[in-house]
Amino acid sequence: MEIEVARERPAQEAMPPETVKQEALASASEPRNGLGKGLALTVLLTLALGVAILGSLATGAVPIAPRTLLAAMLGQHPLTEMQRLILFRLRLPRVLASGLVGAALSVAGLLFQGLFRNPIADPYVIGSSGGAIFGACIGIAFFSQWSVFGFSATALLAFVGSAATMALVYSLARSAGKTNVVTLLLAGFAISTMFTNTTYFFEIFDKSGNGNRILISWLHGVIGIPAWTELAVSACLLALATLASLPLMRTLNTLALGDEYAQQLGVRVESARVCIILIGSLLTAVAVTLGGMISFAGLIVPHVGRLLLGPDHVRLLPVTALGGAIFLILADTVARTIFAPSEVPVGIIMAFVGAPFFLYLLRKMKRGYTV
Amino acid sequence: MSSLLQVRDVHFDYQGHSVLRHASFELEEGSCTALIGTNGAGKTTLLRIAAGVLRPVSGSVVLQGRPMGAIPLREVARTIALVPQQLELPFDFTVQQVVEQGRTPYVAVLRGPGRSDRMAVDRALDMANVSSLRHRIFNELSGGERQRVKIALGLAQEPRLLMLDEPTQNMDIGRQVELIDLLHFLQAEGITILASIHDLHLVDKNFSTVLLLSPGEPLASGTPEQMLRPSILEHAFQCPPDRHPLLIERAELYQKETR
């Protein structure tokens, strides 16, 4: 009997029409629901980002009531000169920079996690941030006056350092067509440690003492108050990189099956890999030039996104960018207010939040580390 | 019948060891071929080479009269689907999301899957009898269920040649029969089948051709009657004839036929 049933099954016509219809409806409704959920979450996070920016602008050593801020925006209540100065010269550039750094690190984390098929890959863990810092240090120490097409040598070298480190770590972790996760993490850790400690020697070459101060704040992850032009360039690069990564999101879904399977499905794996590393490195360089070494943002945000929406990278991209921006704006607000008027580097806040999360993920993934 | 795939004098080394030597075979359009051989004989390697995912050290693979290397990847992916033995996913993709990846060679980069892609996925899920699992997480399925999902993923590619690497592993006998029926159905639809099969009981009567791969021997080819002779199996698998039920069974059958 079983054999008879089984034999009839392949012939689709043999199935009752109601069953086929119900299954077709079920299959059609699922992606739509998933897409709807992703869209709803994107809208929700956009609103939350607005609230986070407003809340962060209002919070600080000199608080400005949100109502006053809103009224000032609507032109109903002029700000005092002091409030204007605090808002436009200090807080707004910093809040926007935090948002850009958070979005850049989170999207970079999403790209690297997809590429390495591993939820614990993020720019900090795999050494991309360390490489960017090293490149930026060379820029500060030797080429501080140079610029190419309007980009400072520091920013360009941060990008080169990040991309080169990624290529090195990746090639070390690859063996027989597979990426060894343990080697990836160890190589990332070793290279990151080496590069961040190498920055010490740049003090010797720095005569002004200004570079040294910048380096120390970078190593701890401090979001400074950038110039408006720097913010505009960073925002353009973030938008460009995010747009460029959009067509790669579907490829990342396919790469989850493994490189060889993806190739069998028609994906040009090597080209996709190079594109993902370059875009991820560009995003890391943007984040590093604005905020230095900030750990774990790229680890936590994509993971939380995956818990809410599932692993589809297409849906995850906007949610990750917005979530990362909100997360870092909130973290930086805490960093500059928790011991006000003193400030704590946001990198330290992130380390305290991120390290336990990282350990939790390691514990959850321990089946992958059997020796 | 015209030739769909030709593998000519293929040689492959892995870490200094020769895995395949002078392997040649041809698949006719619409044929159903079983690939058998000892563990480590290179069955998986041969399938990967034939599917174009592995490049041989020497020799060539010709698909529909064109060298494999000259055909764009997406075109190959629309013609050949290889269902691998192992599939590990790093994230919690649902069965439907996994099978949707089979449409990759059809979906344009900047456009999502269309109606025809969704229909092909539904059809593949249905043919592999995994429609009821579509919302389940792939990593949480049993070995047999995963096996059927992998077959659905291959079917979603709507290939002309379906290659399966040990497709019956982890399957109970009921699911094995379902799989064999599915292969008959696909063959009737004009799809060419090449399956590496460990269970030789399934080979007889279900496959038109058998390829036998033994270490250090040239690839042998013939009908099941020719290739499943006790003397050939005994030599190929280095198994004493009175120690395995299959060989005893085949020997009795062969004696009956000769009488």
Cβ of A306 within 8 Å of Cβ of B74? The answer is no
**B222 CB contacts (<8 Å, ≥6 apart)?**
B209, B210, B212
More confident residue, A207 or B194: B194
Give the Cα separation of A258 and A361 in Å (integer): 21
B112 near A CB under 8 A: yes
Instruction: Specify the higher pLDDT residue, A338 or A73.
Output: A338
The overall longest dimension of chain B from CA atoms, in Å, is: 67
What is the share, in percent, of chain B residues with pLDDT greater than 70?
A: 97
Range of the domain at A143: 40-60+95-366
Query: What is the C-alpha separation between A291 and A294, in angstroms, rounded?
Result: 7
Question: How far does the CA of residue B25 sit from the closest CA of chain A (Å)?
Answer: 21
> Which segments of chain B are extended strands (E)?
3-14, 17-28, 32-37, 58-63, 66-67, 80-83, 161-165, 192-196, 209-213, 220-222
Query: What residues have CB less than 8 Å from B213, skipping those under 6 apart?
Result: B23, B35, B36, B37, B38, B41, B42, B43, B46, B219
Q: Does the pLDDT of residue A178 top 90, yes or no?
A: no
What per-residue confidence (pLDDT) applies to A25?
42
**Confidence check: pLDDT of A324 > 70:** yes
Beta bridge partners of A29: none
Q: Nearest CB to B122: which of A11, A23, A254?
A: A23
pLDDT confidence of residue A217 = 73
pLDDT digits (tens, 9 = 90+) for A281-311: 889 988 988 888 888 888 889 988 998 899 9
Is the pLDDT at A371 greater than 50? The verdict is no
The residue to which tokens 């407003």 are assigned: A54
Q: What is the pTM of this model?
A: 0.84
Nearest to A287 by CA among A127, A100, A91: A100
* Helices A17-58 and A297-309: angle between axes, nearest 10 degrees: 140
Which residues on chain B are in Cβ contact (under 8 Å) with A30? 96, 134-135
Q: What is the number of domains present in chain A?
A: 1
pLDDT on residue A312 = 93
Q: Round to whole Å and give the CA distance between A234 and A91.
A: 17
Q: What is the pLDDT of residues B96-117, one digit of tens each?
A: 999 999 999 999 877 788 899 9
Taking the Cβ of residue B121 and every Cβ of chain A, the question of whether any pair is shorter than 8 Å is answered with yes
Q: Give, as one character, the DSSP assignment of residue A85.
A: I
Q: Which of A149-158, B59-68, B229-238 has the highest mean pLDDT?
A: B59-68
CA geometry: angle B5, B7, B11, nearest 5 deg: 160
For residue A28, being part of any structural domain is answered with no
- Judged by CB atoms closer than 8 Å, whether chains meet at B177 and A2 is answered as yes
| Residue A12 with chain B: CB contacts under 8 Å | 123, 126-127
Q: Is A142 exposed, middle or buried (0-12, 13-18, 19+ CB in 10 A)?
A: middle
Least confident range from A352-366, B120-134, B217-231: namely A352-366
B122 interfacial to chain A (CB closer than 8 Å): yes
Residue A277 covered by a domain? yes
How far apart are the CA of B232 and the nearest CA of chain A, in angstroms? 31
Of A10, A20, A266, the CB nearest to B104: A266
Whether residue A316 is predicted with pLDDT greater than 90 in this model: the reply is: yes
CB contact under 8 A, B110 and A247: yes
Q: What is the mean pLDDT of chain A?
A: 80
How do residues B170-190 score in pLDDT, each as one tens digit? 788 888 888 898 899 899 989
Query: What's the order of all strands across the beta sheet hosting B3-14?
Result: B17-28, B3-14, B58-63, B66-67
Instruction: Give me the residue spans of the domains in chain B.
Output: 3-228, 229-259
Report which of B180, B160, B158, B159 is spatially closest to residue B168, judged by C-alpha positions.
Answer: B180
Q: State the Cα–Cα distance between residues A37 and A47, nearest whole angstrom.
A: 15
Residue A87 maps to a domain: no
DSSP A180-232: -HHHHHHHHHHHHHHHHHHGGGHHHH-SSSHHHHHHHHHHHT------HHHHH
On chain A, the residues whose CB falls within 8 A of the CB of B134 are 26-27, 30
**Separation between Cα atoms, residue A138 and residue A118, nearest integer Å:** 31
B178 vs A19, more confident:
B178
CATH at residue A172:
1.10.3470.10
List chain B residues with CB under 8 Å of A317. Answer: none
- Report the amino acid identity of residue A328: L
Q: Is A284 in contact with A108 (CB distance < 8 Å)?
A: yes
The distance of Cα A306 from the centroid of its chain, to the nearest Å, equals 14
B137 touches chain A (CB under 8 A): no
B124 φψ region: left (φ > 0), alpha (ψ -120 to 50), beta (else): alpha
Chain A residue with the nearest C-alpha to that of B102:
A265
A to B CB pairs, distance under 8 Å: 114
Measured between beta carbons, which residues in chain B are less than 8 angstroms from residue A9?
A: 129, 178, 181-182
- Taking alpha carbons only, the member of B70, B55, B72, B68 closest to residue B13 is B55
Distance from CA of A267 to the nearest CA of B (A): 7
Does B205 reach chain A within 8 Å, measured CB to CB?
no
Q: Which amino acid is at B127?
A: M
A107 pLDDT above the threshold of 70: yes
Q: What is the pLDDT of residues A185-202, one digit of tens each?
A: 788 888 888 887 887 777
CATH superfamily of B3-228: P-loop containing nucleotide triphosphate hydrolases (3.40.50.300)
Measured in angstroms, the CA of B172 and the nearest CA of chain A are apart by: 13
Q: Are strands B32-37 and B58-63 parallel, antiparallel or unpaired?
A: unpaired
Average pLDDT over residues A217-246: 86
- Residue type for position B89: L
* Other Cβ atoms within 10 Å of B232 Cβ, number: 17
Q: Rounded CA gap, A286 and A163, in Å? A: 12
- Cα A172 to chain centroid distance, Å, stands at 23
Helices A181-198 and A153-173 cross at an angle (nearest 10°) of: 150
Spell out where chain A has E strands.
147-148, 151-152, 174-175, 178-179
Mean pLDDT of A79-106: 89
The answer as to whether A5 is a domain residue is no
Whether residue A310 and residue B126 make contact (CB cut-off 8 A), yes or no, is: no
